[in-house]
Chain A
Amino acid sequence: IAGITQAPTSQILAAGRRMTLRCTQDMRHNAMYWYRQDLGLGLRLIHYSNTAGTTGKGEVPDGYSVSRANTDDFPLTLASAVPSQTSVYFCASSASLTPGANVLTFGAGSRLTVL
């Protein structure tokens, strides 16, 4: 089934621990994104990638890093988790960044709780 796979679905993590959220797409989309969604706030962009080998910072990049070694995978790493990073994380992809071609397909989300 074409789409985006995220893992883990849910995770409870101690503060200070390192955590990587995995994201894989099989649609051969060029652009990929990581968002966090918090109650009462809109989706906020953490990092994005236009194409394999390139990444960029979004609205809230601090405390997060990403890599894009190939077209399909776009992992998000929290180097040292803090409670304010408790959130639902969505990975998404689109054919490109070009308006009109930028319809996003989202993964099912990863719910992260940092204690």
Chain B
Amino acid sequence: GQNIDQPTEMTATEGAIVQINCTYQTSGFNGLFWYQQHAGEAPTFLSYNVLDGLEEKGRFSSFLSRSKGYSYLLLKELQMKDSASYLCAVHDSNYQLIWGAGTKLIIKP
């Protein structure tokens, strides 16, 4: 079966760095997405990785290792507004997006 695993919840301190991991087992791979979802709101796109390596976009970076079926989202200089759920999703060989259950990130002052 297809599976994406993420930690259910993480806590970090304002101004710090946090890494949210995602491991996947899917039938084929055509890219990995990270979305941010604030409570009661719609998910919004953060990043897309299709090749191995690190993609940096301001305070957020996303890393992919296809051989390990592994990705992480790195958030630097955490702000209170970064409190949200972070969703990992993989595009499989059938052009379907397989979603993880999401990681709820709690930022404390």
* Cβ of B87 under 8 Å from chain A: yes
Residue pair A104, B45 in contact (C-beta under 8 Å): yes
Contact with A along B84-103 (1 / 0, CB 8 A): 00010101000111111110
* Cβ of A7 under 8 Å from chain B: no
By DSSP majority rule, is chain A's interface helix, strand, loop, or mixed?
A: loop
Residue pair B33, A103 in contact (C-beta under 8 Å): yes
Closest A residue to B101 by CB, please name it.
A42
Query: Nearest chain A CB to B34's CB is how many angstroms away?
Result: 11
* Cβ of B48 under 8 Å from chain A: yes
Measured as residues with beta carbon below 8 angstroms from the partner, the interface class of chain A is 20 to 34
Residue pair A100, B42 in contact (C-beta under 8 Å): no
In the bound complex, what is the Cα–Cα distance between A90 and B97 (angstroms)? Answer: 14
* Cβ of B18 under 8 Å from chain A: no
Do A97 and B95 form a contact, CB below 8 Å, given A106-B42, A108-B41? yes
* Cβ of B65 under 8 Å from chain A: no
In the bound complex, what is the Cα–Cα distance between A85 and B29 (angstroms)? Answer: 30
Contact with A along B1-18 (1 / 0, CB 8 A): 000100000000000000
The list of the 9 closest CB pairs from A to B, nearest first, reads A42-B99, A106-B42, A99-B30, A43-B99, A97-B95, A99-B31, A42-B101, A99-B91, A103-B45
Binding site for B on A (CB under 8 A): 40-45, 58-59, 90, 97-100, 102-109
Closest A residue to B98 by CB, please name it.
A42
Chain A residues with CB under 8 Å of B43's CB are 43, 90, 104, 106
Chain A residues with CB under 8 Å of B35's CB are 104
